[in-house]
Amino acid sequence: MAASPPVIVREVWQNNLDYEFDLIQQSIFQFSFASIDTEFPGNIFHPPTDIPKHLYSSLPPHLFYSIMKQNVDVLHLIQLGLTLSDAQDNLPNFSTPFSYAWQFNFRDFDPNLHLHNPDSISLLGRQGIDLSYNKIMGIDSRIFAMKFKAMLLDMRSLQIGRLPVDFTWVTFHGSHDFGFLIKILTGKKLPQNFVDFMLLIETYFGEAIYDLKVMTPSLRLYGGLERITKRLGLDRVAGKSHQAGSDSLLTMQLFVELKKKYLSIYNMASFNCKLYGLTSTVAHDQMK
């Protein structure tokens, strides 16, 4: 993805939510790739203490999901980042000299009332997230859910309940990203088992979903988003790390780079609808 034209992350609050969703809905049929990222108050539930941290990725999907569900069920979303791209790797520009991504800021979380990881909240503060401003100007997640579901309906093909096959969702370590979205869209806690959770993701988002954290190890690329993109020589073109809009943009940059350099020699279908930690081959076969 070229660094020119300059990219601006559009800040979305309650008072401009309608306007920004109108822009997004104007774009979705031309820009059929969407990367997402979330910021939330850190994890407060963790794997059993006898499991070393470097083995977390080896947890059975049902245990990984159980821990993720505990966290998502009691935590509140702070930000959602959304970046749209077309098949030629262009971002929306709305006939301006700039390209754009979006950052939705939510009001639901109050550090004085709600569970959180203090270290995570301190990190978000250092990265420029002002939770007191979010509380005043942020988006009510219930209103966001109505708007987002309307957008998903606009994406649907004539076959009821299906997204067009050419609309693709991209994440990096996306289990929590989709977890918070499913929680907001359904207005409920997450399902008891991860197979039902994956079916809900397919119902809302369709069948073209790629988690780059699942894909990169097969390309001998290891670590987090920042580490992998630096190894590939990719520079963050807007915003800061641990801001959802900027991280969704960097996720899209990585996806574009992988498509150009690597994925043409791999079968992308083998990575489809697999989220890091949740979808082993057995789990994926159970859903089909």
Q: Which two tokens stand for residue 262?
A: 């690597």
Residue 82 in this model has a pLDDT that exceeds 70 = yes
Q: Would you state the pLDDT for residue 4?
A: 64
Q: What is the mean pLDDT of residues 132-149?
A: 94
CA–CA separation, 154 and 174 (whole Å)? 23
- Highest-scoring range by mean pLDDT, 54-58, 61-65, 72-76: 72-76
Using pLDDT thresholds of 50, 70 and 90, give the confidence band for residue 284.
very low
Give all strands of the β-sheet with 7-12 in edge-to-edge order.
7-12, 99-105, 79-85, 33-39, 168-171, 209-211
pLDDT of residue 186: 96
The label of the residue with tokens 């073109």 reads 237
pLDDT tier at 53, thresholds 50, 70, 90: low
Residue of 101, 115, 113, 149 whose CA lies nearest to 40: 115
Give residue 152's pLDDT: 87
- What's the length of the chain? 288
